[in-house]
Amino acid sequence: AMSFGFHPKAQKQNQISRKNFQPQASYKVAILGAAGGIGQPLALLIKMSPLVSALHLYDIANVKGVTADLSHCNTPSQTLDFTGASELGSCLKGVDVVVIPAGVPRKPGMTRDDLFNINANIVKSLVEAVADNCPDAFIHIISNPVNSTVPIAAEVLKKKGVYDPKKLFGVTTLDVVRANTFVAQKKNLRIIDVDVPVIGGHAGITILPLLSKTKPLVSFTDEEIQELTVRIQNAGTEVVEAKAGAGSATLSMAYAAARFVESSLRAIDGDSDVYECCFVESELTELPFFASRVKLGKKGVEAVISSDLQGLSEYEQKALEALKPELKASIDKGIAFANKQA
Ligand code: NAD
Ligand code: LMR
C-alpha cells in the first residue's frame, strides 16, 4: 500500500511497493489559495506524497514565505511559488491536479451560502485560468458554498469549451472523514475499518450520511441514527463555533483534501481500485450535481456508484427527498450567477 512518506525509509518502501505501477510517479499539483488556513497544511501533506514531483503554490499574497519554508523538507517534490494574477498562468501549465481552497471562511452565525457573493467571483476567475492553461487537469473545488461553486465552475468551463464533467469535483471527503470518525467512536470500532458513504451535497441537511451502508455492518438505534446524522451535518459549524471567529475547519480539511488528491493521483497512475465520495455532475437523481461514491480512473470519474442509493432506510429515503429542494436551489443559484455575467 502507498502512503505519505514522512521518513526517507518510508519513501523507499513506497517505491518498492509501487513496482507494479508506472516506473516513477511524477505528478504535478497546484494549490490555489495556498497561503491560507487550509492551503498551508494541505501543501505540507502533499509535499509528503511520494506521487508528486512538483507542487505549485499560488495565492494573492504571502506565498513566497510558505514556499521557502516548505522547500526545505527533504521529500522528492519541488515547490514553486506564484503570486497574483500575472503568475497564475505559469502556475497552472502542465499540472495534473488543481486544488482550489481560495476564498473566505465562515464566522459563527453564518451559513456557507453567506460566502457566495465573495467566493463565487474568486472561483469563477480561478477556473477561467484553469480552462486557459490546464483544461485536462482534475479540478478539486473546496471553496464554499461547494453546492454552488461546482456548478459555477462547470458553467465557466462550458463557456470556454473545455468542460469535462468527469474531471470536475466538489471535495466532500471531509464529510466522510467525519462520519467515519464519529461512527467508530460511537460504536467502538477500529477506525481504519470504518467507511460511511456520504451523499447529497456539502451544507446542512444536504449532507446525508448513509449509516445503513456503513462498513463493516453495524446496527444503530433510531436515536443513534438521528444523533450521528445531525452531528455529521453540523460538524463544520461545530468547528466554526469552537474557533469563535478565527475561521472554519482547516487541519481536518487539509487531511481530507490530501486524501482526495492522493486518491486522484493513484487513479491517474493506473490503480484500478480507487473509490471516493465527491460532488459531481450526476444522473443518480433528477438533480444535475450530486455527491455520491464514484470510481476514479485515469480520466476522472469512471463510474458513479448507484448501488448505494438502493435499499435505503426509511429515514434516509425521507432525508434524501428533503434535501433535494435546497440542493437544487444552490445549484441553480450557481448556474444563474455564471450566466448573468458577460
Ligand atoms: P483562509 O481565509 O484561511 O484562506 C483562504 C486563502 O485564499 C487566503 O490565503 C487568501 O489570500 C486566498 N485567496 C483569496 N482570494 C484569492 C484569489 N482570488 N486567488 C487565490 N487565492 C485567493 O480560508 P480557509 O480556512 O483556508 O478556507 C478556504 C475556503 O475553504 C472557505 O471558502 C471555506 O468555507 C472552505 N472550506 C471548505 C471545506 C469543504 O469541506 N469543502 C472545508 C473547510 C473549508
Ligand atoms: C466544513 O464543513 O468544515 C466546511 O464546509 C467549512 C464550514 O464553513 O463549515
Whether 97 contacts 136, CB under 8 Å: no
Measuring from atom 37 of ligand 1, which residue has the nearest CA? Answer: 142
State the distance from the centre of ligand 1 to the C-alpha of 325, rounded, in angstroms.
Answer: 27
pLDDT digits (tens, 9 = 90+) for 235-278: 999 999 999 999 999 999 999 999 999 999 999 999 999 999 99
Question: How high is the ipTM of this complex?
Answer: 0.99
Catalytic residue among 7, 56, 72, 202: 202
Q: Is 203 in the pocket of ligand 2 (CB under 6 A)?
A: no
Measuring from atom 31 of ligand 1, which residue has the nearest CA? Answer: 105
Please identify, by atom number, the ligand 2 atom nearest to the C-alpha of residue 203: 5
* Length of the chain in terms of residues written: 342
State the distance from the centre of ligand 1 to the C-alpha of 247, rounded, in angstroms.
Answer: 10
pLDDT of residue 10: 61
Measuring from atom 5 of ligand 2, which residue has the nearest CA? Answer: 236
Q: Is 35 in the pocket of ligand 2 (CB under 6 A)?
A: no
pLDDT of residue 25: 73
Count of beta carbons in the 10 Å neighbourhood of residue 45? 17
How far, in Å, CA of 203 to CA of 127, rounded? 22
Q: Can you give the pTM of this predicted structure? A: 0.96
Measuring from atom 8 of ligand 2, which residue has the nearest CA? Answer: 106
State the distance from the centre of ligand 2 to the C-alpha of 249, rounded, in angstroms.
Answer: 6
The residues near 230 (Cβ < 8 Å, ≥ 6 apart) are none
The residues near 237 (Cβ < 8 Å, ≥ 6 apart) are none
The whole-number mean pLDDT for each consecutive block of 10 residues of the chain, a chain of 342 residues, reads 56 60 73 98 95 97 98 94 98 98 98 98 98 98 98 98 99 98 98 96 98 97 98 98 98 98 96 97 98 98 97 98 98 97 56
Q: Is 202 tagged catalytic? A: yes
Question: H-helix or E-strand containing 179?
Answer: helix 173-187
State the distance from the centre of ligand 1 to the C-alpha of 33, rounded, in angstroms.
Answer: 6
Whether 183 contacts 228, CB under 8 Å: yes
pLDDT of residue 22: 40
How far, in Å, CA of 209 to CA of 229, rounded? 6
How far, in Å, CA of 136 to CA of 84, rounded? 23
Helices (H) and strands (E) in the chain, counts: 11, 11
Q: Is 105 in the pocket of ligand 1 (CB under 6 A)?
A: yes
State the distance from the centre of ligand 1 to the C-alpha of 39, rounded, in angstroms.
Answer: 8
pLDDT of residue 328: 98
